[in-house]
Amino acid sequence: MVPHLVTALNGPLLDLEKKILEATPAIERWFRMEWQEHTPPFYCSVDLRNAGFKLAPVDTNLFPGGFNNLANEMLPLAVQAAMAAIEKYCPDAKNLLLIPESHTRNTFYLQNVARMMQIFRQTGLNVRLGSLSADIKEPTPIDLPDGTQLILEPLERSANGRRLGLKNFDPCTILLNNDLSAGIPAILEDINEQTLLPPLHAGWALRRKSNHFSAYDEVVKKFAKMVDIDPWMLNPFFTKVKNVDFNERTGEEALAAAVDTILAKIRKKYKEYGIKEKPFVIVKADAGTYGMGIMTVHNSDEVRDLNRKQRNKMSVVKDGMEVRDVIVQEGVYTFEQIQESVAEPVVYMIDRYVVGGFYRFHEERGVDENLNTPGMHFVPLAFAQQHAVPDMRAKPGTAAPNRFYMYGVVARLALLAASLEMEKTDPNPEIY
């Protein structure tokens, strides 16, 4: 299913599509060279927004939780990519310990865990689940809606304290699917004999979106120069504002000034390209996920005039993490629709390979709003079969494979940015 692109403003994007398709051999070679210099994150998902005049990533998740939303046809691709990823870290891997989020009641999330276990078992690994939750003191079965069952087990450190595993299970590799919003648990620290993926500094206890988008700036400048396009076509403006306390109303003026600055930059670009839409920004917490701590702002007065409910909503994100630093990011419209609902593509990658994706759509959200909220739905993206290969003869804007190829290119730029971000923020560069 290819959603309808509801915009007359597809001129620049069609031009962009044409340039990217013409440069395909150069683009693929460029990525190959970059991956010789940098290690891709183990896995990653990227939220994209397609405004018709620009296509940009707005969020990059290093602990993706929606593998159950990928089309079944994509499974062989995911298994192949997982094999390549595991071989890098532990060529003779036999046992994989998967540590999921602690919210055991979210059946959608648990179906994602089941799908991940399926993928890694097909690579030839024994996969078991270890829980960070203090409530799990013995192997605990959890029933899923499809009749299958997951078993969560308590984590154990080895007698010498250097390894992490389960009772009678010593893994070579530990895969985190827990974003560590609540902080880094002591049981995960100082593990030196096993590979922990992603590394601890990828979790929200330490990671910051501003570092990611700074790295993305760097990546896009190089890429845009090679393809001969305006980097803005693929990149939202952003700035960071520190020491904001929404409840105490401190840092409010600095935030309002940042909103004005980014809006002025967007207006200038809109004027340059003859875009008639109204500029907006997204204010969001510099750390954290699950679509929390996010608001759409059209002018700086809206930041000053927040009511108590809005302030409370902005001041805390997942696991009670307090918001102190925020980023003000250029808002990117999404003019894609599914069944007349606003939609955005989310692309999934394992290692450096695109393994599929889906459309997130929401019946009650507008083209300038965050769609990652309760009430969202998912439709698998048809990345499979012929869709991975662009159709060079098709007219710009008419071929689904071409649009999906573009999504894959932009998602991989965000993946490369995440790789740079992890290198730059690594607390122990010599062992990374």
pLDDT 10s digits, 172-229: 999 999 999 888 999 999 888 899 999 999 999 899 999 999 999 999 999 999 999 9
Q: What is the percentage of the chain residues whose pLDDT exceeds 90?
A: 57
**Contact present, 260 and 241 (Cβ < 8 Å):** no
Of 269 and 362, the structure prediction assigns the larger pLDDT to 269
**Sign of the four-CA dihedral 134, 135, 139, 142:** negative
List the structure tokens of 255: 């935030």
Of 320 and 384, the structure prediction assigns the larger pLDDT to 320
Backbone angles phi, psi at 78, to 5 degrees: -65, -40
**Residue 60: what pLDDT?**
96
pLDDT band at 265 (very low <50, low <70, confident <90, very high): very high
Backbone angles phi, psi at 181, to 5 degrees: -60, -35
Of 149 and 365, the structure prediction assigns the larger pLDDT to 149
**Residue 17: what pLDDT?**
81
- Among 50, 77, 32, which Cα is nearest to 403's? 50
**Contact present, 53 and 12 (Cβ < 8 Å):** yes
